[in-house]
Structure 1
Amino acid sequence: MSAPISKSEWEKLRRESTEALPGIVAELGLPKVLLEYQGDTVAKLESGTSLLVIEKSRRIGLTWGLASYAVLRAARAKSAGGMDAMYISYSQEMTREFVDACGMWARAFNMAAMEAEEFFFADKDESGDRSIQAFRIRFASGFEIVALSSAPRTLRGKQGLVIIDEAAFVDSLKELLKAALAFLMWGGQVVVCSTHNGVDNEFNTLVQDILGGRRKGAHTRIDFDQALMQGLYQRICLVTGEEWSPEAEANWRQDIIDFYGDGADEELFCVPAMGSGSWLTTPLIEARMTVASEDAPVLRLDLPDDYLQKPELTRRSLLAPFMEELREVLEGLDEEALHAFGYDPARKKDPAVAKLLRIEKDLRRVSALTVEMRRVPFAEQKAICRDIIMAAHRLVGAAIDATGMGMNLAEDLGREFGIREDVDGAGLVWQVSLSSSWYNEHMPPLKTAFEDDTIALAKDAEHVIDLRAVKIVRGIPSIPPEREGEAGKKRHGDFAVALALAYFASRMEWREFAYRAAVRKPSRFEQKPQADESGWQDRPDETTGGFRMASLRRSRGTF
């Protein structure tokens, strides 16, 4: 993940954004009540999200926005979805601030609310009786907003909406979640939001469980720069009476980043600290390498540096053995199984890797084929990948790294097989721009597959090296720039990227279309296809699965 942008870059970005949207500054006098990220959070909860987990930056006003939702929910009649709202955090000052914000919203909404009051109730622990201070607002609906301590027992016997704020800092989040999640059984809602407090904290574990698909729930992430882009500092200027400008915002932003120093990544940019180890352990990787090599071949093509300078006949002869081996593997693919394809292009320093996964009936992802290509020109790479895509039965998707040099290949294959831009698209090819945010969202499900034994690979020492190359960098699975291996054969986690892309494609929604084409009998005047001197037959195109597909024998003749 790249470091936060500099002060001058931020000033330029904000100036350009305001110039691109004329009048935005002039409209600050009549702003929307909630900033965009605050409103989006409330909208998710209004839509019925039962468990919402939010990674957030410090002091962006999200608690203030959540207070508005608590008032809206508690002030409703039961028939309209009203319920009690409970707020929990690690400090009494935060609970008092939350109730004060709720009181402001109640007055603003002109709700029938009583005065905020303090009350005490008996609570027992192992040491005996003690009093826990709490705050509440009662509404005419019969429901109330209550701010409680972070002791898990304070939730026992209650029902409604519970907001756990700065969850990474409460004493026992795991036990608190056990009590809170029971609310979901009777239609309640649970909101867990926090700044990070280390990669091993229970809050980060909850985030990774949701991103990895281990736990149901919705997830959102709001970092400092996102809040600023959506008007945080402009709102601060509105409240304080100061004049907003790109220069003033850039200065203020830099002051905040400087104040947090080494902790800025965690405090402001939602990156949990203390993480720098390997993403997967070697024993775990090897435990998932259970597929026999003949059932999941790893084919490697290594061409000489002067390949393009050689005569065409020589180039054909260099490719022929590999293409024959590839053809045999493709002809042996399971015709009944679903497949997913991932492709990480490369040209000189690193191998290009194409990965084909088979999706079994129990949804286990099993390696079907891996192709590695070193010093292979892009035209040949594209043709090889085209053959794999065409031969893979019931292909649900093909994800291609479209970052940098891969863009042209992704475009060409997308033009032929259709481009997918969202889950509702009809094409096959996902053009993926690899970034820290993509890794953060889509690597956790792959790790979950390793941990839950729902993925199976072929044994290969170099693939172990690639998967071990993925590190936790600033809290996000990433591939460091260093390469491993001897000169001329160095690796850069290439198999890990191709596997992640194939696994991503296997998880996306897809639609299957099929038809049986009418076969036209050739007339007696038509000649049979003839083989040329190279042995390839010039056969008519065949139509299968909704795509126009040339035969493998013909496609091989393109080199």
Structure 2
Amino acid sequence: MSTRERPSRAQLLRLLAGQRRLLGDVPRLEPYQVAFLQDTATMRAVLKSRQLGFSWLFALEAVISVCTRPKSRAIFVSLNREEAQEKVLYAREIVEALPEKWRPQISHASRLALEFADGSRITSHPCTAPRGRSAADVYLDELAFYRDDLGVYRGALPVISRGGRLVLASTPFGQRGVFWSQCRASMQTGKLHVVPWWRCSWLCVDPGRAAQAAEELDTPARVARFGTDRLKEIYEAMDLEGFQQEYECAFVDAQASWIPYEEIMPCVVEQMPIAATAAGLGQVDGELFAGFDVGRRRNASELVVLERAGGRFTVRMADTLRQAEYRAQKQCLEELMSVRGGVVRRLCIDATGLGANLAEDLARAFPMRVEPVLLTAGVKESLAVALRIAFQNRDLLIPADREFIAQVHAVRRVVTAAGHARFDADDEGASHADKFWALALALHAGLKPRPQVTARRL
């Protein structure tokens, strides 16, 4: 329709408080969500836990602006294309759930944009600096993970110079970058939205009581006392440091990591085609090499497949096999090695402990193409050094995936009392670096000449 009643912001917020259809799976707005929507500051910084619904909240605020302000503009910047599309989908669902008298007419829709009859626009970009001559509200979501975080941040400032507002939001990603520095500055003024897991009702059994008591407890006690079953499962599946960074808003010191963020981030590609299954690798033109780390802790194994082209390696598949039995793991790797008559040139597989039988069986099935690798301390050091050199030389490209980046960063180099180097994740009880070793094995499979670090069981 060409004309409609334009509601006030207060009317829309009251509607949100009472209409379940607008909120989707969320029974009501959380207090931290209301606080964000009521914050009228030109620049807002949000230090947040994972899985708190901020992508949906940003879409909601953008739709509120479309409903209340003619020719409003909102620009979302996300870590990757999938998350960029998700925000536009949320926005469209919210628009369609509005009462007809207030519903703005969509004149054009795509996966990355919504245009409205009154000239308003919502656009979404995967990790690129926003551009535009007119005023806009700009949302930089997961800013800490951007490869060029400073460039994106600087690009956003001219957009809001003519009006509009800027949101900087992220989970922490080490003591580095624009987001960390802006959070430190906002903490000084008391204008930072800090939202750990215990402020969220689907992660915390009693957010009201936790708001008073949670910060006085250490992480294990907090999780035991206030965590939902879902939160406890997440905690059990992660190392302590990773959980504190991902869910408790802790900026973890990155100095001890073997491969620092400064070497990882230049190798991150925002729009990288990743095969969902082995069959999808049949479309890749270059030579393929794979690494498989057999899970010992938490019953998870990791598979990484690299394409080699012009001396550079690019991740083309990354798959996690959780609680997979021997037969399922073997079938997965047999399918991989059979794709397009053998497009995967070599698979290096962890042959230590639980992986020994799997490695031997696959080596017999695919002679000269499957290489069992015993992950001794010396072998781990050789693999870790080769992997770091590849990152330093920017010869290895990885996807813009938080979990993948975090696991590459999780490995530390520790010198033992005997003077030997040991490479492993920080928390021995909950290793969270299996992707690191799968990636290192895949790289080893594709390097020419390959270092002689393997040993086969006879």
TM (norm. structure 1) is 0.35
TM (norm. structure 2) is 0.42
